[in-house]
Chain A
């Protein structure tokens, strides 16, 4: 049938062919005019569609995360009542930063707010999961925090999407559309973190803690600050204080406070402080690569970093940093093999730094920073 139509078409007179040609010309001109006039509107609609697609995925992640928190609490904590309403209330939890108009004492105020938040979240989890032990409470708190982050991300993206749709403002939509790939990567990392936290698996952020754990294994430990342990070891003929958060529950501890206490206790007679932490790699760098530097390699809101900088500057203690590189998607998901290999290299780097920068008999501090979930000591 198609062949017949083609043959008929071939036998049509040239005038009819010209008419068809004109129709096509007209269609092209009309398309050009439409794009010229409504180009930005079409682009806006397409961008909104892209955001909508991502929003659907973010909602699925948020809902799945919420469900995982509820089922984890039910499974581990054996609560007497349904925790759903309480989880929903906690997922809407907000932290209000301290006022910065008068920056005097802001670190102390920020630390207080962080402490109150941590205490409140753990206390809520403890009440929801009465059968859970301390490690499980810490892990469940981490699960809850990951679900909370997914909820916040979803709500922020939805806010910009709806605002853009309402105002049809190209620039509001453009802002969110431009950073959408990064937001999605971060959300996928949190989604992946939920499973790791539920199962208590070590995460990429715990690379520093793993270095410290390997160094202090089999030695006596004591609690030096909240959720933070220290061990005195002999390393390369030097006395080394090794610090890490108390595991294997999900904790970051207070390494800043611990370092401050040790430096003050030794009255500043510390030959070197080495801080080992996971650091975000640049695109193209390999995960698990190790880099060295100077300064305080402690992430987070800055309270611990500030404390170490203050005390180190007061006593003129040299600060070295050993960084284990990883991508944003690896920070909160189960530790990759490359990062475990990076930990081995970081230990060798720490030993080399001590040999090259201190003398036998000196005292050094080695602090492994990061969430110690799935890593004991």
Chain B
């Protein structure tokens, strides 16, 4: 399965959905015909066919949506560097070989030792109200 690609729908399910769509459209037309000829509204037919149309359209969209991720995506990871003496702090992208408490040179402000204070990734989540 290709990551990031569009999912291919199974032929059988596609056929079932298309048959359902055609039948519900036919049912809707029948309801319309009945209304035009006999001036009666077949509520049951209308409700069933409209919901079947909605369901088949939804299923078709679902089948074409992007597949869920496998978890191998490259994440944006940040490295925070701090001076042990003053309050100097800088943030850069994570580089291979970084680890927390690694000494990475001297402070441009006070010439104190700079060390990696933390390494983290940021995740954006929707605020929950409950």
| A interface residues (Cβ-Cβ under 8 A, vs B) | 6, 9-10, 12, 14, 17, 20-21, 24, 27, 56-57, 60-61, 64, 187-192, 194-195, 199-202, 210, 213, 217-218, 247-248, 284, 333-340, 374-377
Q: List residues of chain B with CB within 8 A of the CB of A188.
A: 69-71
Report if A195-B74 is in contact (Cβ < 8 Å); known contacts: A213-B101, A284-B130, A376-B99: yes
Inter-chain CB contacts under 8 Å: number: 119
A195 touches B75 (CB 8 A): yes
Q: Which residues of B contact A334 (CB under 8 A)?
A: 75, 77, 119-121
Q: Is the CB of B99 within 8 A of A60?
A: no
Contact B72 A335 (CB under 8 A): no
**B interface: dominant SS:** loop
Q: Which of A14, A20, A60 contacts B70 (CB 8 A)?
A: A60
Q: Is B36 in the interface zone, CB < 8 Å from A?
A: yes
Question: How far does the alpha carbon of A334 sit from the alpha carbon of B99 in the complex, in Å?
Answer: 12
Task: Check A201–B71 contact: CB distance below 8 A.
Answer: no
In the complex, how many angstroms separate the beta carbon of A35 from the nearest chain B beta carbon?
A: 14
Tell me what chain A mostly uses at the interface: helix, strand, loop, or mixed: helix
Task: Tell me if B121 and A191 are in contact (CB < 8 A).
Answer: no
Write out the residue numbers on chain A whose beta carbons fall within 8 Å of the beta carbon of B99. Answer: 200, 202, 247-248, 374-376
List B residues at the A interface (Cβ < 8 Å): 1, 3, 23, 27, 29-30, 32-34, 36-38, 45, 67-72, 74-75, 77, 84, 94, 96-102, 115, 118-123, 128, 130
Q: Which residues of A contact B120 (CB under 8 A)?
A: 202, 334-337, 339-340
Chain B nearest CB: distance from A203 CB in Å?
10
- Asked whether A191 and B71 contact (CB < 8 A) given A9-B29, A14-B37, A17-B37, the answer is yes
* B70: chain A residues within 8 A (beta carbon): 57, 60-61, 64, 188, 191
Asked if A64 contacts B96 (CB within 8 A), the reply is: no
Q: What is the chain B residue whose CB lies nearest that of A377?
A: B101
Q: Given that A199-B96, A201-B119, A376-B100 are known contacts, is A191 also in contact with B72, CB under 8 Å in the complex?
A: yes
A194 to B98, CA, bound (A): 17
Pair B128/A335 contact, Cβ less than 8 Å:
no
- Residues of chain A within 8 A (CB-CB) of B77 are 199, 201, 334
